[in-house]
Amino acid sequence: MQLSKLFLPLTKDLPVDAKIKSHQLMLRTGMIKQSAAGIYSWLPLGFKIMKKIESIVREEQDKIGAQEMLMPTIQSADIWKESGRYNDYGEEMLRIKDRQGREMLYGPTNEELITEIFRSSIKSYKSLPLMLYHIQWKFRDETRPRFGIMRCREFYMKDAYSFDIDDERAKQSYNKMFYAYLKTFKRLELQAIPMAADTGPIGGSLSHEFIILADNGESNVYADKNIFDIKTSSYNFTTDSLEKMRNDFSSFYAVTDEKFSKDNFEKKVKKENQIITKGIEVGHIFYFGEKYSKPLNCLVDHQEGKKITVKMGSYGIGVSRLVGAIIEAKLSNDVMKWPKSVAPYDLVIIPSINKNNIDSLEKSNKIYKELKEDNIDVLLDDVDENISAKFKKHNLLGIPYQIIIGSKSEGDKLEFKEVGKDAEMLDLKEVKYKIKK
Ligand code: 5CA
């Protein structure tokens, strides 16, 4: 892509309510545009990054055997009345009437709808275990939408649902998701800590929030620092190993405000291991057994003609929130570096276009074509502005690798830089090797 053609409306004047660095960066680099309070359009740069995050989330769900589907954003109020949540959900739910006067709503989550789909299609225990997920927009009429897409009203979520015949097997499904979450966040180069959590309006007895440490996080975090040393790679996808993984995490104190007790913290965690900090919730998983399947009468035939109520869990990841969370974790001193797995481009070519360097754009164009032919997703900064303005802009865009075509790049050797590291002189073959590695 040539930067001169990219729809990238950079902003200099930030609204006063852009208080945290991710919100500011997303506006400055034209990733999003607010259309109403807590509702945003995703412009090409932001959308591309979010789609890459979504792909990683999807791949890790598929790997554990969850099946993707798509439910609508608009739901009928009827099933919510059956579960009893239509009243309980309160003002956070956006209620709508269609032209026939039927009560509808914009889904804040999908436990009811998925249970209805399951109960009308699955009759036998032989179809279990089953895990289904979709990645879809949600709406919650938050009282105070803030921090840009971090706490907004319309947001993009991966929500998965598990169906099992008994508690024990349901916990195995829970552990599989727990594992998939750790792997997902690792691929996003984030350190996410699972923490025992309250279940709120979703309900249930067992729940974990996945929290990323960040100064601007909304959650206060109290943890034993040893929890950061647990290596996900030391577990495998067997029932025993997954159970051990969850027990290992549970053996260390790690909670947010709702579960915090000063006495317990001081009793369980040695002074030198105590961490008190802030974090961002990027995922939340719940085991709630029969909370929805019972009122919605979701039964399967079991052996000897017995019918049993299915046991369910639900598992959310804030896909759009993750874009902001990654910025909070990776932006430092006004220099952004996207993790390679989700970077909007693999590499940017920055020519210094000025009178002394008329060849630089031509040379850049040649390199650009060659890299594209080799399937490297490259951005060419062909905008006519001075080099220091360009560097400033690219510090914010955060493309992890740069080729700078200026006085230093001579002959075959190109000035190549990985953001945050020293520049080196490489030929194009070496550049390709580095990018593809
Ligand atoms: N039904 C369950 C699991 S599928 C559920 O809705 N869980 S949740 O309420 O915890 O939301 C899941 C994830 O969505 C959260 O961990 C968070 O990352 C994201 N999320 C929740 N509310 C918002 C919001 N207002 N703005 C942006 N992301 C949000």
pLDDT in tens, 102-130: 999 999 999 999 999 999 999 999 999 99
pLDDT of residue 355: 57
Tokens of 136: 């879809």
Of ligand 1's atoms, which has the minimum distance to the CA of residue 322? 18
Tokens of 163: 């169906």
pTM equals 0.96
pLDDT digits (tens, 9 = 90+) for 29-79: 999 999 999 999 999 999 999 999 999 999 999 999 999 999 999 999 999
Mutate to test the pocket of ligand 1, among 42, 157, 195 (most ligand atoms within 8 A of CB): 157
Q: Above 70 in pLDDT, residue 356?
A: no
Packing angle between helix 319-330 and helix 44-63, nearest 10 degrees? 110
Distance CA 72, CA 91 (A): 21
Q: Above 80 in pLDDT, residue 358?
A: no
pLDDT of residue 217: 87
Mean pLDDT computed over every residue of the chain? 94
Q: Within a 10 A sphere around the Cβ of 174, how many other Cβ atoms?
A: 22
- Between the CA of 284 and the centroid of ligand 1 the distance, in Å, is 7
Q: Above 80 in pLDDT, residue 321?
A: yes
pLDDT digits (tens, 9 = 90+) for 233-257: 999 999 999 999 999 999 999 999 8
Distance CA 169, CA 162 (A): 10
- 50-65 burial, b at 16+ Cβ within 10 Å, e below that, comes to bebbbebbbebbeebe
Q: Considering the chain, what percentage of its residues have pLDDT values greater than 70?
A: 99
**In terms of C-beta density within 10 A (0-12 exposed, 13-18 middle, 19 or more buried), how is residue 208 classed?**
buried
Mutate to test the pocket of ligand 1, among 284, 286, 312 (most ligand atoms within 8 A of CB): 284
Q: Above 80 in pLDDT, residue 10?
A: yes
The stretch 320-347 carries a mean pLDDT of: 97
DSSP 8-state symbol, 310: P
Distance CA 222, CA 195 (A): 10
If pLDDT is split at 50, 70 and 90, which confidence band does 360 have? confident
If pLDDT is split at 50, 70 and 90, which confidence band does 354 have? low
Of ligand 1's atoms, which has the minimum distance to the CA of residue 286? 3
